[in-house]
Copies of this chain bind each other. A is one copy, B any other.
Amino acid sequence: MTRVGARTGGSAPRSVDVARLAGVSQKTVSRVLNGERYVSDEVRRRVLEAADQLGYRLNSAARALASGRTRSIGVVTLGTALYGPASLLIGIERAARDAGYALRVVNTLEGDAGGAAGAVESLLEQGVDGIVVSEPIDEGAVSLSVDVPVLVLGAPAAFGGTRTVSAGVGAELLARTATEYLLDLGHTTVHHVAGPGRWFAARDRLEGWRTALTARGREQPPVLTGDWSAASGYAAGRELAAADDVTAVFAANDDMAIGVIRALTEAGLRVPDDVSVAGFDDIPVAAYVTPPLTTMRQPFDAVAREGLRLLVRAIETPGTDLPPPDDPPVELVVRASTAPPRPRAPSRG
C-alpha cells in the first residue's frame, strides 16, 4: 500500500527520536541519512528501519540552516504557456531532480520592469544553491551580481556576472539553416517574421536569417515583428499577402508560422504553391496543421539537461572551468509547407 505521510499523533518525529529507537546517537542518524561512509551496515539498517517505522521525514529547513546549502535550484521563467519555455522548464525539473536538487520557480510577467532582477532577488531570499534564468529578455543593464552560480538558457554568455554559465539551442545556426533551405529550394529571397526584439531568442533567429541572406548576397526584405502568437503571425501574414513579391517566409516560431499561413490562405494564396512558409520549434501540432509545417526542431530537453549539468558542476565544484557544451544537433524537419517557387510565377489574380 502506498501510504504517504502517515503520522499517528503528536508532532513530527525528529532525528533524535529515530536515534533513540535505533539505539544510536543522533549524529549517527544524520550520517546514515546523508549517505556518509564509516557507518556499519548493521547500524545503517537499524537506523533506516527506525526511520521508516516512525515515518520520519528530514526537516530540510533545519538542514539548510545548519549546512548553509539548500539543495535546491531556482528557476526564473516567463509566465507564458509557450511551448519553448514550458519545455525547458520540464527539462530543467527533471535534470535538477536527477541531480538531487529541488526546484523553486518564479515567473516574470513580460513587461515587468526589472522583472528578472526581482525574480532573482526573491529566489535568493527563498534560499537556492543556484539559479536558472530561462529564455530571458533583454532588460537593459541589469547587473546580476549574485552569490550563487547562474545558468542562463538561451541568451549570450556575456549576460550576467561572474559565475555565470550558459547554454543555448544554437538558434542562430538553426535559423540560418532554415533560411538556406528555402534559398536552396530556389527562392530569390526569404521574408522573416521575427519575435519580439527584446528576446534574445528572437534576435538569434533574426541574425541567422540575416547571415544566410548576406552570405548569398540576397536582398533583405523588411522584417515583420510579431509577439510569438499565432495572432501576431496572422497580422504579419496579411501584410505579406498584400505585398507582391513574397514567395518564402521564415517565421521565428511555429505559432506565428501558423498565423501567417492562415492569413495567406484567407487571401487566396496557396501554401506552398504560391508561398512557402517555414516555422521554428516543431511544436507537437506542427505535423498536423494544414499544410503540415516545415520547421526547425529545437532540442529543448538536451539543452536543459546540458545546462543543468554545468550549473550543478559550478555549484558543487567551483573553480572547475569546463568547456562550453557542444552545439546541439541541427534538425530541419521538412514537411509540406515549403516547396520550390512556381516557375515564372504568373502575376496574381
Q: Which residues from chain A sit less than 8 Å from chain B, CB to CB?
A: 1-7, 12, 57-62, 64-65, 70, 72, 79-81, 83, 86-87, 90, 93-94, 97, 102-107, 109, 114, 117, 120-122, 124-127, 141-147, 229-231, 233-234, 255, 258-259, 261-262, 265, 284-285, 287-290, 292
Contact = CB atoms under 8 A, between A and B. Distances in A.
Nearest to A291: B290
Looking at A7, A64, A97, A126, the one whose CB has the most chain B CB atoms below 10 A away is A126
Looking at A2, A3, A93, A125, the one whose CB has the most chain B CB atoms below 10 A away is A2
B61 A5 contact: no
Q: Report the copy number of this chain in the oligomer.
A: 2
A59 to B, nearest CB: 7
Contacts of A2: 114, 117, 141-143
Contacts of A5: 120-121, 124, 144-147
A270 B100 CA distance: 52
Contact of A258 (B60, B61, B107, B288): B288
Given A60-B126, A97-B106, A290-B289, A284 B255 contact: yes
A1 B58 CA distance: 41
Contacts of A284: 81, 229-231, 255
Contacts of A70: 61
Given A5-B146, A230-B287, 15 more contacts: A2-B143, A4-B142, A59-B65, A61-B62, A90-B107, A102-B106, A102-B122, A102-B126, A103-B106, A104-B104, A105-B105, A230-B284, A231-B288, A259-B288, A285-B285
B230 A285 contact: yes
Given A57-B125, A117-B4, A233-B288, A93 B105 contact: yes
Contacts of A255: 284-285
